[in-house]
Structure 1
């Protein structure tokens, strides 16, 4: 399909996502009337389908409600990178939310890669899954130091990151972050297979059924244009949540458009997935097809409603692709819309602290293959009453506010020293500075029963006098009964080193 605009530029290839065009369209029925299930899921993208799949594995009855056809929205128009490498994010996360929450973010996304691979292997899903390294490269000398900082930050969090100088790309780069043990796949082949496993025995998928609102507090009722779905728990897995209580979430989110071309080039494409560190974003990955290796050229993003005319963004991508490769043909073009959170961290969990039965997942900031899987894992655990180690960083109710303590109050802590600083009867912070000068500020409440820990100068540990739990100087558990480490506590004006 070709489209011509007033400038005479012809949009190249089919106006369709490769993922959608190469898979059979779903044909699930509309909601037949009022029903009752354990969990109702609004939205049939990667979060909704994966959540339903994981819940069905435990015997929970579910109903996925999709306004159109499943897997045709943002999920059907993705770049389909399965990666914990989300641009230059980890150095910033350590600085803004602390090392503890940054590690939760890192661990959860790396775990999502493993979970997707486990499902692919266990259910023998033919979805072009393959491991690929993921690179963020500096396209200018101005970004070179950011690359070095990101390598140090990512490695300090246990991520499989390393520095790489020369890349096999047809233009000059100034260093890159390389993440190993990353992957790519055909998202609709994968998720359509999961959808088939949901159906039957208490699992339902209803298409062409639009959710109109949510009522009640347990059980909860999803009002739709086809009837009502009553459930003990409801997950909003839509791109943008349809219900916001008490009206604060919408202020934390905005929409962003991105564009993609599916091109065939004369040269062999290098092994890996690539994205630059600057604006405008330029992302490259390849995909095996019946015609050979296709290259996905993605980027030129902008806030929805604020960009140039659509054809200009496609033209920018095409001009760039043709400037670096001998392009044989461009067979596809498509666009997608993603939700961007103001603090670069998705919102996953209970809508509000007292919303025991209402959950949401949104704000994946263009990394939905891992973040959507992370969301499904967290929501499944929470609904089933299981502990999950990543809840804190994604909490939709997070305020982002630092503790009332300031750097001035803790500046006297020397290398190798630890102490508890208290203000009044309720506010306290546990502070440790390691021999290299890296500062750790922790909530001193023991994760077992909430008693305050004390600093053991001889052993360089945090010890709880109530029940004997012990933590190392960084707040990691070294002796039970506690099973989770001390929580990070942000301090005003703090500028932590990333390593």
Structure 2
């Protein structure tokens, strides 16, 4: 599976990491958060490097729906259940600042985007009540939403919630523009280098252990979706979620607004015109990572749904993205606990990474440079806490059970029959759980134990990957790390 955005991405050049490299700041991860943070620091005169284990935008940024919207499902209702109105208003201010900054950047650098209304819609009475509650929360938080009963959708709706003049774009075009500006300010973007650890080197900085050797820096920013260092405890307060998208060419009239359902299963809609072809993008069917036994069915369901209401729709692309739901309902942004004051992180965007990424970048760069942003001090005052961890455990108690039953089921399975094409399963060899799969006619055998906290992996048939149900680490069929808190590949168990 490959997204429309990654398949049509502009070229983003990569630099070489010199031996014994040292920088003022190193940013780990070349998605929207990492690229924007690095650019802001480079503009301020810092010597900055971005280290990316894969390629720029390969993870969440290249697989998003790319809606730059302040109307974010029922986020404001959720935030106000956890926090006071002051923090909710700071969330809106921060996201508005992020949205405005990115649109100004696009305007200044000739990067195209489209202004669209964001519309939440409900087809049931339950969904309609959610939208009324969200409208009240938005009003209290400073968003001028409008309740209605009509939408340009090909099926009846009971209620809509609209926020005018939001935006949508091609995320890799934006990322390429940021990368170009970053390099123009002397920054180095280095792909294919994995950060495996960070250690304090005294009062003045840290040393990064990487696949290409040691790198030293005064500051490190972890912009990797979920931070790769366990010392912050982020994995205990974040729930990794996987969701799906399909892009279809359509001859029917397609509504131009950006839509999101209030009912389940979630349906997200937007249009995109790329290289002269107009697409309808439909997203949804999210689930906890590693907790679905048939992920391909979720992709197929999106296509079926789109063709039910848009009969001329023809599938062109399908992809998936990973997001992290925070126990605190707002992102965790700032210094990493026990990081010695030199390590920073941003995580927990709750599927709304376009505005939150830039807001976090502004806050992180401002903190490193000694700036003052009152909205950021209010919004990001929520830190990783024992109460958050307890709430996550209570909401996701099945994770602990997965650790136990995963080992038990892995040890219980026996047999040597090769899986069919695109299939994978865990078997027992002695006391070891082994993952066996067949992809493109080649059988792969890897350890089925996640290197992070030793959870037993599950096979993802849509993406042909091994996914960990504990904290969301993901690996290719032959064991190469894709994303998540793990920092190493799976062991190859071929005999």
Structure-1-length-normalised TM-score: 0.74
Q: Take 2:118 and 2:340, find their aligned partners in 1: how far apart are those partners?
A: 38
Equivalent residue of 1:193, what SS? helix
Q: Take 2:229 and 2:260, find their aligned partners in 1: how far apart are those partners?
A: 34
2:199 to 175, 192, 215: 215
Which shifted more, 27-36 or 136-145?
27-36
Cα drift, residue 35 of structure 1: 1.0
1:267 to 252, 267, 279: 252
CA RMSD of aligned residues (A): 1.8
Q: Take 2:239 and 2:11, find their aligned partners in 1: how far apart are those partners?
A: 29
Equivalent residue of 2:230, what SS? coil
Cα drift, residue 261 of structure 1: 0.5
Aligned length: 385
1:192 to 165, 176, 185: 176
In the other structure, the counterpart of 1:99 is: 85
1:83 to 69, 75, 96: 69
Q: Take 2:215 and 2:71, find their aligned partners in 1: how far apart are those partners?
A: 38
2:297 to 312, 323, 336: 312
Contact (CA 8 Å) 1:299, 1:317: kept in 2 or not?
A: yes
Equivalent residue of 1:156, what SS? helix
Q: Take 1:76 and 1:163, find their aligned partners in 2: how far apart are those partners?
A: 32
The answer to which structure has the higher helix fraction is: 2
In the other structure, the counterpart of 1:155 is: 139
Q: Take 1:194 and 1:170, find their aligned partners in 2: how far apart are those partners?
A: 38
Equivalent residues in 2 for 1:120-159, closer than 5 Å = 120-125=106-111, 128-159=112-143
Q: Take 1:361 and 1:170, find their aligned partners in 2: how far apart are those partners?
A: 39
Q: Take 2:262 and 2:93, find their aligned partners in 1: how far apart are those partners?
A: 22
In the other structure, the counterpart of 1:21 is: 7
Contact (CA 8 Å) 2:10, 2:176: kept in 1 or not?
A: no
Question: Structure 1: which 4+ aligned runs deviate by more than 3 Å?
Answer: 24-27, 398-402
Q: Take 1:355 and 1:114, find their aligned partners in 2: how far apart are those partners?
A: 33
Counterpart check, 1:171 vs 2:155: yes
CA deviation profile, 1:344-397 (whole Å, cap 9, x unmatched): 211111112874211001111211111111111110111111111223323462
Q: Take 1:33 and 1:398, find their aligned partners in 2: how far apart are those partners?
A: 35
Question: Higher Cα Rg: structure 1 or 2?
Answer: 1
Q: Take 1:55 and 1:230, find their aligned partners in 2: how far apart are those partners?
A: 17
Counterpart check, 1:33 vs 2:16: no
Which shifted more, 87-96 or 64-73?
87-96
Segments of structure 2 that go 5 or more residues without pairing to the other structure are 389-495
Cα drift, residue 200 of structure 1: 5.2
CA deviation profile, 1:131-184 (whole Å, cap 9, x unmatched): 111111112111212211211221222213111211110111111111113111
Cα drift, residue 310 of structure 1: 2.0
Cα drift, residue 335 of structure 1: 1.2
Contact (CA 8 Å) 2:231, 2:339: kept in 1 or not?
A: no
In the other structure, the counterpart of 1:418 is: none
CA distance change for structure 1 residues 327 and 400 in 2, over 3 Å: closer, same or farther? farther
Contact (CA 8 Å) 1:67, 1:207: kept in 2 or not?
A: yes
Counterpart check, 1:66 vs 2:65: no
Segments of structure 1 that go 5 or more residues without pairing to the other structure are 1-14, 403-499
